[in-house]
Amino acid sequence: MKSAIWGIGLLAAEFFCTLREEDVLFFIDNDRKKCEKLFAGKKVIHPEDIIDWEGLSLYIPYNFYDEIVEQLIGYGVDKLVHIHKYYEKNPIVYKKFLSDYKGSQVMLQSRMQQMTDSCIFWGRMWSFEDKGYIKFIRELHDRNKNLKMGIVSEAIWYTQEQTENILGLPSVVTPSIFDMHTYVKSIEWDEEFKKFVYQKKCGDYGIKFLQAAIPDLNEKEACTMIYYMYQYVISAMNIFHPSIVVVYTFLCPQHRILEEECMQRGTSIISTHQGVLPGTLSFDIGGEMGKSLPAVYPDKFRKLPVNETDLRKAQEVWNFLYKSKLNRKKQQKNNCIEYVKENIVQGKPIVFFAGQNDIDSCMVPYTEETRKYHSPFFQSSIEAGIYLARLCEKNDWNFVYKPHPMATRYDDANKLPKNTIYVEFGNINDLIDISDVVVTILSQTNYISLIRHKPVVMLGYNQTKGKGCTYEAFEKGLIEGTIREALEKGFTKEQETAFLKHIAQLIKYYLYDDGMERELRFGREVPTNIEEFYELEKLMKESEEVG
């Protein structure tokens, strides 16, 4: 039976790579704007345009499964016969990986001349059509004619030719293990792998990370993957000698390996990711969240000058984000609000805890760096959830826990106390709106909460650290009293003023417009000089020297 995959996001693309290409007829998506385009070389079709459902084996993403199945039943599709759930973890056998790896080495050599001494964008960021990177990279190239650019793509579902056609830049595609949801099984073990990996700075870290992210991966399999990550990064750096590397987040082991190699060679490296305000992109020197410049230099960032025009623009942006409910991720539609209302004790405050993706948020493995820059005492979302649930029970508060949508398979919800109202999937805006206070370690849900005028208690560090717009409990003993204060005082006028100033500073000094279609433009424009990415770092260090 021929197959169709629902969705054209990351999970769908990664899952597509596990099937035989010829067995997949097309992708399905509810967004008409995305239909009749190609995704991973296949057509994208709207479900209303599909006539024969009977002849299809349908694959549905686990995080939107219920609402899509309900839609399919309306089309008369028998879910027991035709519908299968797919997840974010995809194994490949060792022999297939080795063939893939050897091909990637040949590809590196094929682009030596075009990509040597270039600015390399490394990662899968460009493949997210709704994130703005394609337009941003193209405009950066157009505005910097003398800047040689190339792509090392981890979007393994696109061929080298497809990547180059989309971006108009010389490109190579990494081995499949550089997609963090693809892993190798049935390896042929070599003791030399272990000797090499454990003498490297990121070797032990990488193995622990992979085993946490993929629980059924044994040490030898994880070690083998880390070994080949190092070999590929070293080969790419030796062949291309990049002038600068812009990588889509430092958070996963292959990018920590890349950072390690860049630092050893004196090559500049910048982390990029979606900005803290929806509709923006960040280019960070040093790292994300607690390692970002606004978090490392909280007082200096807070003192960056803004004028009345900047503040009026910030208020316009705030109003737009509040009314539009623009979010960095597509929000699920379900009855989660009704579920919460049915299970709360009426008249009691609602404390809402937003978990982060521990695997992809510097929390795993938990290290001294994690303690210093990200989470000072909690080692996981579930650990924090258990602690908060007990506090809420003690104080007679309602407790609602929502895991990060990409972490539902890792969180052991059974460990949470019985007073927990656990919402696996749901619209984050609606959950925030019915809550009295939002608590998180470092999830950037805190920005959505502030946009929606809700008080926020931070248990860890991100870009709001020290900005005066949240309640901060960076010692465990302060949590109970801080939540009580937030419930009593709410989102104060002082916090509102501080957040407005913070928005103005973010869009003036830190965040770039992602260029996606929307009613209001905000954020910095695509730079005309790559050195602009370092302007904020210079401002922070200059103010440090003056002080």
Displacement of CA 87 from its chain's centroid (Å): 17
213: tokens are 């992210």
pLDDT at residue 81 in the model? 66
Q: In what order do the strands lie in the sheet with 437-440?
A: 420-422, 398-402, 350-354, 437-440, 456-458, 471-472
pTM equals: 0.87
Ranges of each domain in the chain: 2-88, 91-274, 304-513
Beta-bridge partners for 437: 351
Architecture of domain 91-274: 3-Layer(aba) Sandwich (3.40)
pLDDT at residue 427 in the model? 84
Quote the CA–CA distance of 126 and 132 in Å, as a whole number: 8
Q: Classify 106 as helix, strand or coil.
A: helix
How many other C-beta atoms can be found within 10 angstroms of the C-beta atom of residue 327? 16
Report the amino acid identity of residue 262. Answer: C
Quote the CA–CA distance of 206 and 212 in Å, as a whole number: 10
pLDDT at residue 242 in the model? 97
pLDDT at residue 221 in the model? 93
The answer for residues whose C-beta is within 8 angstroms of residue 52's C-beta and 6 or more apart is none
Q: Which fold has domain 304-513?
A: Rossmann fold (3.40.50)
Q: How many helical (H) and strand (E) elements, i.e. helices and strands, does the chain have?
A: 22, 21
pLDDT at residue 408 in the model? 60
Quote the CA–CA distance of 466 and 457 in Å, as a whole number: 12
Q: Classify 452 as helix, strand or coil.
A: coil
Phi-psi region of 249 (alpha: psi -120 to 50; beta: other; left: phi over 0): left
Quote the CA–CA distance of 411 and 415 in Å, as a whole number: 9
Quote the CA–CA distance of 159 and 262 in Å, as a whole number: 26
The answer for residues whose C-beta is within 8 angstroms of residue 416's C-beta and 6 or more apart is 382, 385, 386, 389, 401, 422
Quote the CA–CA distance of 522 and 515 in Å, as a whole number: 9
Evaluate whether 91-274 and 304-513 have a shared fold: yes
Q: Which fold has domain 2-88?
A: Rossmann fold (3.40.50)
Displacement of CA 141 from its chain's centroid (Å): 25
Instruction: Show the beta-strand stretches assigned E in 326-462.
Output: 350-354, 398-402, 420-422, 437-440, 456-458
The answer for residues whose C-beta is within 8 angstroms of residue 124's C-beta and 6 or more apart is 10, 153, 154, 155, 179, 248
Average pLDDT across each block of 10 residues of the chain; the chain has 547 residues. List them in order.
85 82 90 84 91 85 85 78 78 88 96 96 84 92 93 93 93 92 86 94 93 87 95 97 94 93 96 94 92 96 97 98 84 75 94 88 86 95 96 97 72 84 86 96 94 98 97 97 98 98 98 94 95 94 65
| φ and ψ of 354, to 5 deg | -100, 110
